Each structure stands twice: as C-alpha cells, then as structure tokens.
Structure 1
Amino acid sequence: MIHLAYLLVLIVFITPLIPGVLGILLPAVSWLPPLGYVTPHLGAFATVADWPNLVQSVLLSLFTGMGSSLLALVATFLILRRFWLNPRWQKIEYALSPMLAMPHVAFAIGFSFLLAPSGWLYRGFEALGVNTAGSYSLIQDPYGIGLLLALAIKEIPFLLIMSISVLQQLNVHKQLAVANGLGYDNKQAWLKVILPQWLPKIRLPLFAVAAYGISVVDVALILGPSRPTTLSVLVWQWFNDPDLALMPRAAVGALLLLTTTAFGLLVFRTLEWLGLKQCRQWQITGAATLRNSVKSKISGSLLTLVTLLPFMLLPLLVIWSFAQRWRFPDLLPTRYSFRFWQQELTPLVELIGNSMMLALLSCAVALVMAIFCLEYRNKYLRGLPLWCIAIPLVAPQLSLLFGIQISTYWLANQQFVLWVIWSHTFFAFPYIYLALDGPWRSYDSRLDQCARSLGLTAWQTWWQVKRPMVMPAIWMALTIGLSVSLAQYLPTQMLGAGRISTITTEAVALASGQDRRVTAIYGLLQGLLPFVVFSIGLTASHFSSRFHSRKPSAQQRSTNTDDIICGKPDY
C-alpha cells in the first residue's frame, strides 16, 4: 500500500507538469484546435514584442520581486544576528506563526488603508498640523516601491521561520565561541562564519519568496502600479480578455513571465556564487574592525515594524468596517453603523463555508500524502525528489496554471470543484511536507523496533506509538496547510473558471475600487480566518504535547527512549 501511495504522490506532481508546459508552448505558437488554430506560427510573439511599455512591465516585476526578496533577506539576517541567542528569541518565535498566518491579500488591503493618500498615516500627520496635500503615495506608485515594501515586510516572518531549523543545525553558539576565541566579535563572526553557511541552506525559501514576488498577481492588483502594470498583472489581463482569439498572446505572456522568473532566480544564484565562492576575500581578511557596521538598533526597529504592523492593520480594518461617515482628515469616524455587516452577512456565510470546505479537503489529502512519503523514506531510504517540493514553491503560479487551464478545455465534462481542490492540494503539499520533515527525522526508530518486538503490527505501532509523539507536528502542519489553501487566489479563479467564490477571491475583487467599508469587511475576515485556524492548531498541538509528556506516576514506567530500550525497568 505504501508503494501505491508513494507512486500516487509522484503522479500528482508529474501530471500537471506535462499539460502545464504543453499548455503554454502549443498556444504560444498558435496551435489551438478548439479555437480553430491548426497552423503553427509565431505571430503571437511579434504581438507581445510590440506591446507598449512591455520592457517597463518586465523591469517593474524584477525590481519589486527581487528588491523585496533582497530586502527581506537582509532584514532577516540582521534580526537573527541581533536576537538569535537573546532571551527574547523564544517570545519572537512564538509570535512568528500568527504573523505568517495573515494572508497577503488581507495585509495588502490593510497596508493600502494605512498608507493611501487618505489613509490613517496621513490623517495622523494632518492631526499634528502637517500639510499632506500633494504628498507622494506608496499605493500604486509608478515605481512599485509600496508593493516592494509590503512584500518585503510580509516575507520576513517566513524567512525567519525557515531559518530556525537551519541555525539549529549549524550550532551557532559553539561556532561563535570558536570565532570569539580567534579574535572575532559577534558581528564579524555572524558575517564571516554564520552567513556563508546559512545562505546556501536558505536558498529554496529565498527562491520561493523571489518567485512569488516576481509573479504575484493579487497583491500587485491592490498595491502595484497601474500604468504600466507589472508583467504578472499584464498577463492576467490578457488571460481574462473576452476575445478567445487572443489566447496565444496570453500564452506568450505566460512564457515570458516564466522566463523572467527564471532569470531573477539565476541572478540570485549567481550573486550567491560570486559572494561565497568566487569573490571570498572578505571572508578571509581576518578579525579587522568592520567599518560602518549596522547598529543593533536597526535590527530592533525592523523587528518592531515586522511584529507590530500586521497587528496594527487589523484594528484599522475593524474601524473601517463599522465606519459610516469618516471624512478626511478626521482621525476617527464621526458616525458608526452595522449596516454593511448586515448586508454582507448572507454571502459571507457561503464564502467562508466554501473556503473552509476547499481548505479542509485539500489539506487532508496533502497531509495523508506527506505522511505516506515520509514513512516510505524511513522504510526504504528513498526520499521524495527535490523537484516535487521545489516546483510548486518556485514556479510562477500564473504560468503553470495557464497551461493546465488550457488542457482542461479538451475535457468535455469539467469538474471545477475537483480541479480547484486538486490545485490547492498541489500548492499546500510542499508546506505540509516541510513542516513534518523535521519531526520525522528526529523520531527515534528504536521505539518502533521495541513495539514490533512486543507483538504489535506495523499499523498498531504507528497508531499507538509514533502517532502520539508526532501529533503536535501533525496539527501544526495541518494548520500551515489550511492557511496556504485559504490564501490561494489564482488556482481558485483559473481552474474554477470564476464559478467558485471564496473569501480571498471576493476580497481581491472588492479591493479594486468598491466601497472601503465592504472591502474592509472582506479583508478583515480573510485575515482573521487563518488566525482562528492557527489558534485552534496551536491549542490542539499544545494539548497533544502535554498529554503525551504528562508526568508518569509511581506505578508507570519511564517514557524516556533510552530507559525503555536500553535500561532496566524503573518503577
């Protein structure tokens, strides 16, 4: 059975690649028989090449995506250097999960309400007597600076969480002690000793952040520039063109977006190679005093910004959702009302139900698949290929889903709910797998051997011995998967063909210029739903951990692994 499950996982990840690639290449050369294109030609490439401001759109995507990733990487390193061995780190680690739970769309809506020309920040300046007329706005600015900052702030918690296991493997405390003995202070040791080891191990999360920033659509629709737009938004507009005869142009755009993302990742990999392998004189110059070193106050300010900003945006969304009259530059509304909540209550119930149904089904399937793959690796020492994890994280969603969407046109009976659940499973599986990978590696297999020697079957051993020990990790993995599924916009829109609505798709649609009060309601719920999921998951994980590690009574044997297997019974 475990062989069939492992084979099924490979099929689930291989099958979308073939139609995903063919669904881009064939329409790009204008071969699409359902639309009457049966003679391949390169006319769509010429159309895209002649598109006005295409180069500016590509540069905007590279600037916002790579700039936000680089900024998030530097901020993450500064925060780790300042707080990793600090007693405050444990509190910081507890706060990372709720910050990560806030979806990008909800964060973008709150960010726009805060920094728009009539936002709360400008209202505060007006209250202090500062005239903000004609001030520069970071929301939909022509250079994409607001989009860059929002993406960078939102991705810092993700890189911090991914760095925890990396730094635990590096044993930072001992390496710093050795470096200090050689005359390096902590800042020099972090830069010359820890950074060259940390950066390669954080490469895949960094690539995921960079690929998302270059190809993001939903956040760019809310915060990004509009004339010209980023390349991802431009391709999304081409894809939604009602004239199906222009589908080859959209295919070429998806191919260009894929190429642009690959170029951005190649630049990051080249810079890493140059800095750590080729031009490494800065690593071996000795313990000379570093000039213009970044002060620790900057790290504290960055951590304060990353920590407080998501929690500041939620109250702002709450106030906007109840505001009936809020004129600029009033700091608070002059009149409140429940009218907007009452008129949206019925559709909200349906949307939340759809969102939770899709998330629960897709994450349940992804969780079972991940457990089977990890058990297969423990039994046969053959892990899941790295590309199965990397492709959903690194490949642009728009390019991959475009090819799959084209492939679905060949099916006469289209099951949109099934396609959406499958796509959510495809994108949630890597996060669940990575969340369970560490606990499965640290599990002591001697416990299984002891249980089997006492007469338990393989299934009984897993259910009665291993499952209780890894149950906290399973709860956390399921929580992460649910949060990922709840935030999916493009898979729901494209493979659902607009027939399946969730709280995320409606929030993005309303953020385009509808009433701010209604937008605030949907943005607030889209942000609170993952918070509720994370709270339930943390509570369940905590109780599972406490139940398993409860103190044994005098009549119970020790639960220590070595005592059970190697030691004598201790009553």
Structure 2
Amino acid sequence: MARLLFAITLAVCCLPLLPGLGGLLTSAFAFLPALGLAEASLSGWRELIAWPGLSHSLWLTLLSGLASSLLAVMLSFAILQATWQTPFWQRIARSLPGLLALPHVAFAIGLVLFLSPSGWLFRLSSPLTGDMPPTWSLIQDPYVLGLTLALTLKETPFLLLMSLSVLSQIDVHRLTMVSASLGYDRTSTWIKVIFPLWFAKMRFPIFAVVAYSLSVVDVAMILGPNTPPTFAVLVWQWFNDPDLSLLPRASAGALVLFLLCALVLIGYRFFEWLICERFNRWQFTGTRRAWLPGRHLWWPVVIVPLLVIPALFIWSFALRWSFPDWLPSRYGLRFWNQELAYVGALIGNSVLLALISATVAVIFAMGCLERAVSPRQGALPKAVIAIPLLVPQLSILFGIQVAVYSLPGQWHVPATIWAHIFFAFPYVYLALDGPWQQFDQRLIQTARSLGVSAMAAWLRIKLPLLLPAIILAWAVGASVSLAQYLPTQLLGAGRINTLTTEAVSLSSGLDRRISGLYGLMQALIPLLVFVLATFLSRVMQRRLTPHQSVATQPGANNHDAVCQSTQHKRA
C-alpha cells in the first residue's frame, strides 16, 4: 500500500509539471495554434522588454522579496536566541498555530483597515497628530514598505515553526554548556555555534519564504504599489488582458519570474556557503560577549494580527465611522444581511476544496513517510517536496492552464482540486515528518513478534499514537487550501469562487465594510479549523496518555506496553 501511495504521489506532484513547463515555454515563444499562432517567435519577449517601467517593477519585486525574507530570518533567529528552552518559548510555540491559521489575504485586508490614512492606527493617534488624516500611507506606497512589513510578520511564525524540528536535531543544551565553559555567553554561543548549524538546516524553509515573497500576487495586489506594481502582479495583469494575442508577453513574463526566483535562490545558496564555510573565521575569532534584541521582538508578530481581527470585525458592522472617531457612531447588520446568502455558497466551496485536498494530502504524506521508515525503501526526495514551495505559482500554473485548456472537455474542477492538493502536500508532509521519525519502531516489531499482522499492528498501535499529529497536519493542509488564490482563479476558469478569490477581488473596492466582512470570514474559517483540530488532538492525546506514559518512561519495557495495548484492543 505504501509503495502504491508513493507512486501516486510522484504522479500527482511531478507528472503535471511536465505539460505545465511545456505549456509555459510554447506560449512564451508565441507557439499557440489555438490562437492562430502556428510559428514560434520572439514577439512576446520584445513586448516584454519594451514595456515601460519594467526595470522599476523588477526592482520593487527584489526589494520587497529580499528585504522581507532577510528581516523574517533575522527576527526568527533573534527570537529563538532569546527564548529557546525558556518558559516563554512554550507560550510562543502554543501561539504559532493560531498565527499561521490567519491567511495572508485576511491579514493584508486587516492591515489596510488598520494602517491606511483613515485607519484605526491613525484614529487612535489623532489626539497627537490632529483631526486630519495624514497625507502619507504605508498602503500601496511606492517604496513597498507596507508589503515588506506584511510579508515579514507573516513569514516569521512559519520560520519559527520550521525551527522546532531543526533545533530538535541540534543538541542546543550541550553546545551551550560547552561554550559557556569556554567563556562564551548565551548570545555569542548562538551566533558563533548554533547559527551556522541552524542556517544550513533551515535552507528549504528559507527557500520557500524567498520564493513566495518574490512571486506573491494576492498580498501584493492589496498592499503593493500600482504604478508600476511588483513584477508578479504585472504579469498577472497581463494574463487578464482580454486581448489574447498578447498572451505571449504574459508567458514570457512568467518565465522571467521563474528565472528570477531561481537566480535569487542560487545566490542565497552561494551566500550561505560564503558565510558558513568559506569565510567562517568569525565563528572562532572576536569577542566572547555579544548582544541581540530579546524576547520583546516577539510581541509585534503577535500584536499586529491580534489588532487586525478586531479591525475586520468592527468595519464589517460599521454604518457610519467619521475620522477621527475611535469607534463607529452607527452599527448595523445591513452588509451581513446583504452578503449572507452569497457568503454561504463561498464557504461551501472553500470548505469542500479544503476537505478533499487536505484529506488526500494527508493520505499521500502518510504513504510516503511509511515508505521512508522502511529500511529497504528510499524516502521521498527533498527536491520533490520542495517543488510546490520553490516554484512560483504564477509561472507553473499558467503553463498547466495552457495544457489543460488544450484538452477536450471541461477540466476546471479536477484541475483546481489537483492544484490545492499539490500546494498543500509539502506542508502536510513537513508537519508529519517529525512525529513519524520520532515513533519507536520497536513497538511494531514487538507486536509482530506476538503474531499480530503488519496491518493490524499499524492500525492498533501506530495509527492511534500518531493520530493527534495527523489531525493537526490535516488542519495545516486545510488552512493552506483555504488560502489559495492563484490556483483557484487560474485553473478554476472563474467558475469556482471561494472566500479567498472574492476577498481579493473586493479588497480594491471602495466599501471597507464589504472588505472587512469578507476578510473576517476568510480569517475565521481556518481559525475554526485549527481550534477544532487542536481540541480533537488533545482529546486523543488524553485517551492515549496511559499507553504513552508506559511506553515512553525511561527504561520502560516496550514489550509490556505493546501487550497492554494489544490486549486492550482485543477486549
């Protein structure tokens, strides 16, 4: 069964990329027989190069993507250095799922309502700044400050979550003790000893952050500048041009975006090699005392999302809210009554896609992890897992769209489901990888020695023990699916509407009440999924506590633990 799931996973995650890449290349070189373009040419590339503001758009993309990634990495390391193995870190770890459950789009809409010139922040500060809104804004500013801030605050919890498994592979306590015996303080130990190890093992998560920041479309449409926009948004606008003869220009832009991300990732890998291997004298020379900002850096990462949700909530009920009033003067349910029926249909589409994609992604991940723990079979290559994280969505999805549209019949529904599974799978796999590796295989071996079949041992012992982690991984996959914008919009052919697609479409509208309503609903659904998953996971954990306490006590007899578990199941 594991071998079959492994083969299906490879087929789902790799095979569609071939026609996707082929569709991107053929359309980039103006070979589209369906549009009457039967000969390859460089017309799309000429139009791309001639576009005014192209260099400025590329510069904005590099500035926002690299700055936000660098800030997120620095912020994550500073927080880890100050809080790891302290009671405060437990509070951080408990809050990470809730922060990750807030979708990027809902967070961006909330920032618009909070940081715009007439937003809540400037209303609260009006006693100091005056009764008129400021003339400057962090929203859609020409220096991409608001976009950089949003990406930094959203990617920091992701890097912290990925650091959990990375630091568990590094004996931080032993390294700290040895360094202290040599006269190094805690901060200097983290910078000189732990940082090189952490930085190398965090390569793929940082790759994912860099690739997303460079190619993000939905958040950049809400918070980024318009004249010109970032390059990913510019390519997206070209895709939506009603003149199909200009499609080669959009395809050429998508290919440039792909090459830009690849070059930046190669440059990052070269930078990692320089500071960690080539010019690494800084690790063993210099002062043994250092200083980094402490745990207080964590509070902006928590406080801003906490303020975003109330802003969305209040705006969705506001009828009249004049500046500089702190709160609306009139409330009402007019917009809720107006949109409730339509929102219900959107919620149904979003939840159905999330249920299917998260369930299939969990099944695929379990099959691949079961194959990985087998001593005679290889694990899923890291490159395969990283493909959905590292490849710009816009580049690969457009190529797949061209390939799908060339097929007879209507394929928008299965193509959309595939895309959600494709992008949810790596997050589910990474969420399950740690618990799967930590499972003691001797429990299964002992059960087999007692005459229990392999399938029965897996169902009676391994599955119950890993079920809490599976439930949380399913919630991760569902939240990733609920946040997908480009896959639904491109492969759904405009016929599949979700909360995310509607929230992005309405975010540029003039009515903040509608934007607040859809942003609030888009934020609450993933949060409810995480709350339900956490509750079920803790219930399962409490039910399994007696068995786990026996099996995991130092010096406990695993044979007795399995016997008790098997007898309990048979009873």
TM-score, normalised by the number of residues in structure 2: 0.95
Assess if the C-alpha contact under 8 Å between 2:401 and 2:490 holds in 1: yes
Match of 1:369 among 356, 364, 387: 364
Structure 1, residues 515-543: CA drift from partner, whole Å, max 9, x if none? 11011010001001111000011111111
Task: Specify the alignment match of 2:157 in structure 1.
Answer: 157
Residues 132 and 323 in structure 2, CA contact (< 8 A), matched pair in contact too: no
- Corresponding letter in the other structure for 2:557: D
Q: 1:128 aligns to what SS in structure 2?
A: helix
Which region of structure 1 is more displaced relative to structure 2, 80-89 or 223-232? 80-89
2:328 aligns with one of 333, 358, 362:
333
- Tell me the distance in 2 between the aligned counterparts of 1:549 and 1:383: 30
Question: Which of 385, 389, 394 matches 1:389?
Answer: 385
Q: Shift in Å at residue 294 of structure 1? A: 3.1
Distance change >3 Å, CA 369–CA 401, structure 1 → 2: same
Check conservation: 1:563, 1:569, Cα contact below 8 A.
Answer: no
Q: Distance in 2 between matches of 1:177 and 1:286?
A: 20
Q: How does 1:375-524 map to 2 (within 5 A)?
A: 375-379=370-374, 380-524=376-520
Inter-partner Cα distance in structure 2 for 1:143 and 1:114: 19
Residue-by-residue CA offset, 1:279-310 (whole Å, 9 max, x unaligned): 212112154444xx3343xx41x211101111
User: Using the alignment, how far apart are the partners of 2:174 and 2:426 within structure 1?
Assistant: 32
The answer to whether 1:203 aligns with 2:194 is: no
> Residues 286 and 412 from structure 1, CA distance in 2 versus in 1: closer, same or farther, beyond 3 angstroms?
same
Change (3 A) 1:567 1:75: closer
The DSSP-based 3-state class of the residue aligned with 1:543 is: helix
Q: Match for residue 527 of structure 1?
A: 523
- 8 Å Cα contact 2:141-2:225 kept in structure 1: yes
Can you list the C-alpha shifts for 1:328-352, whole angstroms capped at 9, x where unaligned?
A: 1111100001111011110111100
Match of 2:299 in 1: 304
- Distance across 1 between alignment mates of 2:304 and 2:513: 20
Q: Would the alpha carbon gap of residues 194 and 552 (structure 1) be closer, same or farther in structure 2, given more than 3 Å must change?
A: closer
Moved more, 416-425 or 454-463: 454-463
- The letter of the residue matching 1:518 is I
Of 483-492 and 450-459, more deviation after overlay is shown by 450-459
| Number of equivalences | 563
Aligned to 1:273: 273
Q: In the TM superposition, what whole-angstrom CA distance separates every residue of 1:224-262 from its partner, at most 9, and x where no partner exists?
A: 010010000000000111111111111101001111111
* Superposed displacement of residue 416, structure 1: 1.4
Q: State the distance in 1 between where 2:166 and 2:537 align.
A: 22
SS of residue in 1 equivalent to 2:125: helix
For 1:26, the aligned partner's letter is: T
Secondary structure of the corresponding residue to residue 319 of structure 2: strand
Residue 564 of structure 1 aligns to which amino acid in structure 2? N
- Could you tell me which residue of structure 1 aligns to residue 284 of structure 2? 284
The answer on whether the counterparts of 2:141 and 2:224 sit within 8 Å (CA) in structure 1 is yes
Per the TM alignment, residue 3 of structure 1 is displaced from its structure 2 partner at its CA by: 2.3
The Cα offsets for residues 22-74 of structure 1, whole Å up to 9 and x where unpaired, read as 11111111111111111111111111011000011111111101110000000
Q: Give 1:294's aligned amino acid.
A: L
Within-5 A mapping of 1:183-262? 183-262=183-262
CA distance in 1, matches of 2:305, 2:180: 37
Following superposition, the deviation at residue 78 of structure 1 comes to: 0.6
Are 1:127 and 1:331, in contact at CA under 8 Å, matched by a contact in 2?
A: no
Q: Which AA in structure 2 matches 1:305?
A: P
- The one-letter code sitting in structure 1 at the alignment partner of 2:558 is I
1:411 is matched by which residue type in structure 2?
L
Deviation at 1:565, TM superposition (A): 2.3
Q: 1:489, 1:504 within 8 Å by CA — same for their partners in 2? A: yes
Indicate the percent of aligned positions where both proteins have the same amino acid. Answer: 49
Indicate the RMSD between aligned Cα atoms, in angstroms: 1.9
| Gap regions ≥5 residues in structure 2 | none
Question: 53-62 or 445-454: which moved more?
Answer: 445-454
Tell me if 1:563 matches 2:561. no
- TM-score in terms of structure 1 length: 0.95
CA distance in 2, matches of 1:552, 1:493: 45
Alignment of 1:33-182 (within 5 A): 33-130=33-130, 133-182=133-182
